[in-house]
Structure 1
Amino acid sequence: MNPAAAPRRPTPAFLLAHPAHCIALGFGSGLSPKAPGTVGTAWGWLAFLVLELWLTPLGMGLVIGFSLLLGWWACTVTARHMGAADPGSIVWDEIVAIWIVLWLAMPMGFWGQLAAFALFRYFDAAKPGPVAWADRLFKGFGWRGGWGILFDDLVAAGCTLLVLALWRHLFG
């Protein structure tokens, strides 16, 4: 696909033009005109709750591992096709990151999950300290850039898990 012909804001036609687009754009959640990262994270939360009905914790871990590799490919291809190193409409990174947070922090009720969601969104959007470092580390196109799309969200997930663990230790 010619990056010059790629839409600045992806369309449903772009989403369906290549399997990588569908994955990287979170099966359409990245098409949201407002806050696609938040919409993608919400989609990931809901998808996790559905997957959790059928998968054991080990099965969920295997799905997450596979999804990281699949997402690396999908984010690399989609960013290249969009002609942007890290387009906001690519939300697979948020989806896999919230899966990791929920997988490692569960069991917890709705309010705990909402707190995890809010903390992750804070770390992903504000990019304090280590998340900003991770965001700068792998930039550009190709496999390195595709990994970079995922990496800062993985660090944001780690920061979220650290805060949740501290909260549980101090107040749990």
Structure 2
Amino acid sequence: MLRHPAHILSQGFGSGLSPIMPGTVGTLFAWLSFTVLTQRWPSIFNTFTWCGIIVIGYFIGVWACEITGKHMGIADHGSMVWDEIIAFWLVLLFVTPASFKIQLCAFILFRFFDMVKPPPIGYFDAQFKGGFGVMLDDIVAAFFTLLFFSLWYRW
């Protein structure tokens, strides 16, 4: 992880190095970091700032995941969790403020969409490779999570 700055980022500051379910651990890291930063420094980590972090983080993530994938010899290595982090920050940005129960539902739904990859998420995962592909399928999983919540709130 420490051999290149891109690895530190793409591997979620070490959260992706978990031997068990690194994607889930990376998503938990996203949840914890979003919650701590937003609660500790609400004047800094507001909606506007989070939007900027997510957009910039997405594009930096494309680069970092591309570099890490090439160095590891696997385009979408399981230890790369920056895609989960950015995507779940996006989910939390739209879902919060919410109770722990609602946030947990968002976590479970996001992980479901990310792991199962129902259509069209699986299509994007298969069609797009490299850093862009790594980041894109998780953004689509975040979109489906948010779509579910939108429909749930509607009814």
TM-score after normalising by structure 1: 0.86
Q: Percent identity?
A: 51
Structure 1 unaligned spans of 5+:
1-14, 140-144
Partner of 2:143: 158
Report the equivalent of 2:72: 82
- The answer to whether structure 1 residue 149 and structure 2 residue 125 are counterparts is no
**Residue in structure 2 matching 1:129, options 83, 104, 119:** 119
Structure 1: which 4+ aligned runs deviate by more than 2 Å? none
Q: Distance in 2 between matches of 1:113 and 1:134?
A: 26
Letter of the 1:49 counterpart: T
1:108 maps to which of 84, 91, 98: 98
Is the contact made by 1:40 and 1:92 (CA closer than 8 Å) also made in structure 2? yes
Partner of 1:27: 13
Amino acid at match of 1:107: P
The one-letter amino acid paired with 1:35 is M
Structure 2: unaligned runs, 5 residues or longer: none
1:168 aligns with 2:147: no
2-structure distance, mates of 1:17, 1:73: 16
CA distance in structure 2 between the aligned counterparts of 1:51 and 1:77, rounded to whole angstroms? 28
Which residue number in structure 2 is paired with residue 93 of structure 1? 83
For the aligned residue pairs, the C-alpha RMSD in angstroms reads: 0.8
Instruction: Work out which of the two has the higher radius of gyration on C-alpha atoms and give 1 or 2.
Output: 1
